[in-house]
Amino acid sequence: MSTKNDAVAPLALDGYEVLVCVCGGIAAYKVAGVVSALAQRGAGVTVAMTESATRLVAPMTFQALSGRRVLTTMWEEGSDTDVRHIRVTESADLVLIAPATANMIGKMVGGIADDLVSTLVISAASPVVVVPAMNERMWANPIVASNVAVLKQHGYVLVGPAEGWLACRGFGPGRMAEPEDILEAVVSMLKNTEPKNV
């Protein structure tokens, strides 16, 4: 009997590079499963985190899962950090933003690049997948709805949000899509193109 994950067999993503941008939503912990699954399937995964995200999940978690140093600031010393926001986005075949908070979505629409993650996103040279996650009232806010519509108009791909139990103890739309659904969307998009670095 076939399963949903048959199309994402081990090493199916060999040669692909994915930049995963983790924002400061409580659902950040669920992104660890996505990073692990991508790495197990052979993708090169680089994780960048907002300062808020590092308060929810330790960067070491993503470093262990990806096998790579996690990017958290534009201001670190060292030769490997020169124009980091340009270099890492040039090699990425896809940029995944999860969880995409209302704040980050607003920054994207406004063209604001005031930290590492927002700078990476605005420098993206590949398709961008946005996975919203927020309180149901935030998701229903007409400003957020307008921002989401703008992202779609510019070709960003949205996955979710789902409806369900939220961290604020409420129930409604705004719950981050499940890791397997995010993985399915990412794999589907990657397999539509050849890896940049082959």
Q: pLDDT digits over 127-176, tens only?
A: 999 999 998 888 999 999 999 999 999 999 999 896 655 555 565 567 89
- This prediction's pTM: 0.88
Is 53 in contact with 28 (CB distance < 8 Å)?
A: yes
Say if CB 177 and CB 147 are below 8 A apart. Answer: no
Q: Is the peptide bond before 173 cis (omega within 30 degrees of 0)?
A: no
pLDDT value of position 150: 98
pLDDT > 70 fraction of the chain, expressed in percent and rounded = 83
- Establish whether 168 is a catalytic residue: yes
| Residue tagged active-site, from 168, 172, 178, 184 | 168
Say how far apart CA 145 and CA 53 lie, in whole Å. 23
Domains and CATH numbers, the chain: 17-190 (3.40.50.1950)
Q: In this structure, are residues 187 and 7 in contact, taking their beta carbons and an 8 Å threshold?
A: yes
pLDDT at 3 (0 to 100): 46
